[in-house]
Structure 1
Amino acid sequence: MHDKLSDLIRILLKSESTIVSKDLANQLKVSARTIRNYVHEINGLSDSQIISANNTGYYITDRLAATELLRIKQEVGSHIPQNSEERFTYIIQKLLRNSSLDSFSLANELYISYTTLKRAINFINKRLNQWHLKIVSSHDQLSLSGKEYNKRQLFSYSIYRENTGNLLNSAYLEKSFGKETTDKLQTMIDQIIKKYDLQLNEFSYNNLLLHLLILVSRLSIGKTINQSSSPDRSKVGKYTIDLAKSIKKTFSANISASEIQEIDILFKSNANLYSEISNQKYFDKAFTKNIQLIISKVSNMYLVDLSSVKFIQPFSIHLYNLLFRLKHHQTLRNPIKINISNNFPLIYDIATYVAFQINKIWQVKVSEDEIAFIALHIGAEIERQKHNPEKLKAELIVPTYLNIREQVHDFFRRNFTKDITIVKETDETDNNSDFNSYDLIFIIMLQNEKSQTNQKYIQLSPFSLNKQKAKIQAAIDEASLQKKKNLFKKRSLPFFSNDLFWNIDTKTTKEKITKKIYLKMKSLGIVNTSFYSEILQRESMGSTAFNKIAIIHPMNYNSPQTKVAVLLSQQGIEWDDKLVNMVFIISISEEYKDVFRNMYENLMEFLSDEKTFAKVLNAQSIDEFYKDLLL
């Protein structure tokens, strides 16, 4: 229960008479509508009605229950799930990590009654319908019932919604590793970035800082890695050498060649220099194959993708050093182990699975402290994917003579960094390479048959690259659009259905079709009674019609389900001062509010193409609509 809810209860407890919503809103500095939502939320926390209302205002009905809520808030703070959404996340995470849960123990953990828990389970089961899963109870033991693949889909959904951002929050890092150490490292990083003009966004900066803090914490207790092999100094960046010297001087730490290599990979993987990593062979084929095996098993088990070079290279060198430590009976203490296992349970679960695979392959036992370090790598990668899911992966096939590769690499870095990541550079086409690993493959000067038959291959001349910018950008735009369509198909299509699809050939009005669609959605239990007035309120603020399309939605996210109703009209519908041929009415639930913006933007982008618009307008079913929209 957050502070505003507690404040509302205290205000009403102190009052000997009813208080109107306007006065409550003024005291709490919120709107009258928010007060109504608070009341609804508070009443959902107890079996009894805590707050009631009459024509003179709000008052406390059950003072004992209200006082008990305040006591629980003071005793357990805000980390105990307090509403339906938080309980959904908490219970699902526990069921995904345990075969069964005792109902009474779970109710005690949540500080709710057995009856309230049953209501929570009913709410969760409605949400689980989209994964064809259900929580079942047998002798007061709760378990998740359904196919294993569907459970993995639910796990994947949950993992990408876990708040991994805290892992890369500078305040959190200061608290975990110490302000003095964190400040010193930040100063060093800032100096290197400025000196060598490196490009790091906020996420990449914090990711680099996190892993350097781990390395320094290891060095501070004398846990250095003295491998017999040393990196080729010609391949280590000058920025790495400078930073290593600063770390050695500031923290009085002995840095081995292997750790210099680790710092180099961290810099390159966070400063958009991935191609420099991929062109270097740090490990033998057997080790690399085992890394790929682990990543494949994680994907099959959890439907989580860890195949990016941005994850593989830093993780590989961490694992290489970990195996060396274990071989010499060394372990590292992780200062934030408890925080990771408690606050990021699903990520920690994947890390535990990775540790199990490490044990199977190399016959070594990985400690909980080391598992937490693995979890940091996984959490950082998942957070990176959240920040930049649309960036394209590209390969450059370019010769090495006459400094052509360096010139081409610099050209792409200066002009197309915001759109693509160069994950590999080579001077020949490797027929055994994974073609599906790349969104685009640029072939500079080399001739190749595939470039003529597959749109992934873009043939370029190494001369006058500036004159070929338009060609490159067109290829990027096309590949980006296709990637967005693939993601839309994966993430958004479940929100469309035949029950909410119409293609009409009769004349109608904005008011009639809006009311018709609302009533249909309400009959299916998709929206609340207030939904119609909410979308009218949104319409009154400004037209939702653009370029023959109207996308209607409320301003809040309180619908029971997220769904998209689709209405097509060849004749067109008068919409304020415009004529529209497509109407989308979208209901948005709290759990999918982050999906809405992408869905909205994708629909507008896909339908901005005149040919696509014309094809979609003729669709006679939702299946035809999908097909024509995503061609």
Structure 2
Amino acid sequence: MNNGREIGYNVLKWGDHMQSKQIELIKYMMENKAKVLTSQQLADVLNISIRSVKTYISQINEIGKGKAIISNKNGYTLNVPVAKNLLTHENIIIPQTYEERSTYLVKAFFLQHTNCLDLYLMADELYISDSTLKADVKKMNMRFKSFNIIFAIERDQIKLLGPEKNIRKLFSYILYEEVDNHYVDLQILKSNFKNIDIDSMLPIVKQIFSKNDYYINDLALRNMLLHLVIIIERIREGKTIPDLARGLQDKEGEDVCVSELCRKLEQQFSITMNEEERREIYILFKSSTNFVVTNGMQEVRELVGNEIVEETKELVYLIQQAYAVNLDTENFIIPFALHLKNLMLRAKNSTDIKNPMLESIQSQHLLLFDMALYVSLQLEKKHKIYISQDEVAFIALHIGGEIERQKNNNPKVRVVLLCPSYMNIESRLYNELLINFNSDINIVASVRDSHQVEELNFDLLISTVRIKLSVPCETAVISPFMTSGDKLEIQEKIESSLNNKKNKMLTRHFNDYFEKELFFLSNAALDKMEAIDILTSNLYDKEYVRKDYRDHVLMRERAACTGFGKIAIPHSVEMNAYKTCASVMICSKGIRWENQLVYVVLMIAINKLDNHVFKELYESLVIIFSEETNIELFKDCKTYEEFENTLKSIIG
């Protein structure tokens, strides 16, 4: 087996120190580390004699730093730390689960440049029986069903059958799944494709794009490089996509750019591409790059077409209607229309770009992700396409970027500066606050004495002295000479003040959104569907939602799980409830929500007339219920009144 390239696991290749049976012995004992094993048991498992067992154990203990296997009158036990060091020294990571083994097998096809593997050799390398491997291969046809390929066993051979295009997609998928956050950087490409000079490929791609006025972002560039090296590698192995002689039929500039790229790659790597291979690169190019726009909206219309521009504006309108967020600016519409053109092309060709920021956006910017998901569902419904969560995260970045640009127009935190007058310190601090925090704060007053503070209406007090006020308020005590630590303290207090504003809104409207008839306690463990059915049925009985509400809740749930931490906030993809409300379920034994256990479910229904409050309501609930200590308090609630008092005490 060629072990020159690595993807995830090291290809199993035993070192010079231990034989395969010795490693198999340690692995078996690792799986049964709590047991005392006899020589006979080990001999039966390894299919060797008792004498050989004793010899192997003696040799293992000589190799290890300390005894890896300890003997006593009842048999043998494993010294786990020493045994782990031995396996680490041998550079061995053995796949343990079916998912890990199936991934290993796909990589083996790729690393060995073959579509056929020896069944018994692979079983030996994986330290499983041939019957277990056969069962794994059958399961693989389900795991990788979407790639439209087949794993077959014929005459003790495992075969990979399917169109070359689909096999390449499978290889790129496996590589993305094996790296942290799905971010395939240059180092990973170099370590996995050592026979291809990545460093010489990168300037070729960049130079051609730059010369022809095409722009590609870093993530799309990494994605393009991965697919290009797979194409080059497979062509070198004689595995090409059948030539359908369709050619390139699009804009002249794009054709010229792609033709030049293909010609340079052929020269650099001594390969010949047929027209279908060139078409694959053309689609990759079209879905990854944008022409540099210099003349505004008119040029965008020429590049992407009126249909996509109008669809972008329609999506902007829908976001405004659903979330009361205005994205109707050229700063948003121009780059998003260009992005939408590429996204649609990727979706229609069943490809996407992995987004390494998906997890952080999904967990830390819930409302932003929800807005992007709403956009993707509109596109899916209209065009009958599938949009992955990675693509949803890119939409979220566009929306978030525009919201951030508009931040200066958002309500600011009202600040009072308290600083005794001495050597003009108060004026200098005032100016520093404006320089560092102008987009977030509005300084309503600068005062010298504490009694002046009591008369003012503000959100945050920034003071150079510690004072006691009759009414508690958010306070940042800083030094007369603002330090970096002071700036961090002020930023934290600004964010805390904004959260307090949202929480006060929740307190003010508590009785508008929550009510006793929408509160449920469960002492029995439930699953997600049971909880959703209970809450939606109640909303139907109260006539607060339309008949299709449950369908829209499940549509949102299928698009992306609404559970995070120990809370779930299911809601409809449409804001068409008859009444804005929040239905609550607390389950002390937990509700199985996909792969996690939640204890509080908040089902939100929004009337479109209240869409302006959705953002504040949603974010307030997320802030409060994402704190694990708060969840513990809510779990102890036995009545609606206790729930209300707990929520208000946390806000207070």
TM-score category of the 2 structures, normalised to the smaller one: 0.3 to 0.5
TM-score, with normalisation over the residues of structure 1? 0.36
Instruction: Look at both structures and tell me which one has the larger radius of gyration over its CA atoms.
Output: 2
